[in-house]
Amino acid sequence: MCSVLSTRVQAANPRLTEPAEVVRIVRGAYAYRAGVSGTVVIPAGSRIMSWSAFAVSNGTVTIDGGDTIIIPTGGNAQGEAWETLGAATFVFTNTDSFFVEYVT
């Protein structure tokens, strides 16, 4: 199976004989924060690997003071990797569980 990305890489470098793969290499110390509700501050310069939250009854998440992410009754919200320049702040309100994993 050859993806569009693989095809483009091979077209740019015809010496590749196998489909190209994208590999994410992360270096640093792995850490995570988990709990019920509350504020979580991730150190500046960290790479957020993922975050998730679950709410039995209408919860919310805000990240760095941005827009409020609403978690509907019995639902969850989640996000994937990004790098932070400053410290990242998550505020989990009325959630029943949350998890943030990151690399420093």
Q: How many separate domains does the chain show?
A: 1
Instruction: Kindly report, residue by residue over 9-33, the tens digit of the pLDDT.
Output: 445 555 555 555 555 555 688 999 9
6 belongs to a structural domain: no
The residue to which tokens 């483009």 are assigned: 8
What are residue 87's phi and psi, to 5 degrees?
Answer: -70, 140
Residue 61's domain is classified under what CATH number?
Answer: 2.60.120.340
78 belongs to a structural domain: yes
Half-sphere exposure of 103 (CA within 13 A, CB side): 12
* Confidence at residue 28, expressed as pLDDT on a 0 to 100 scale: 80
pTM of the model: 0.72
For residue 96, give every residue at least 6 positions away whose Cβ sits within 8 Å of its Cβ, in sequence order, or none. Answer: 36, 37, 54, 55, 56, 59
Instruction: Kindly report, residue by residue over 48-76, the tens digit of the pLDDT.
Output: 999 999 999 999 999 999 999 999 999 99
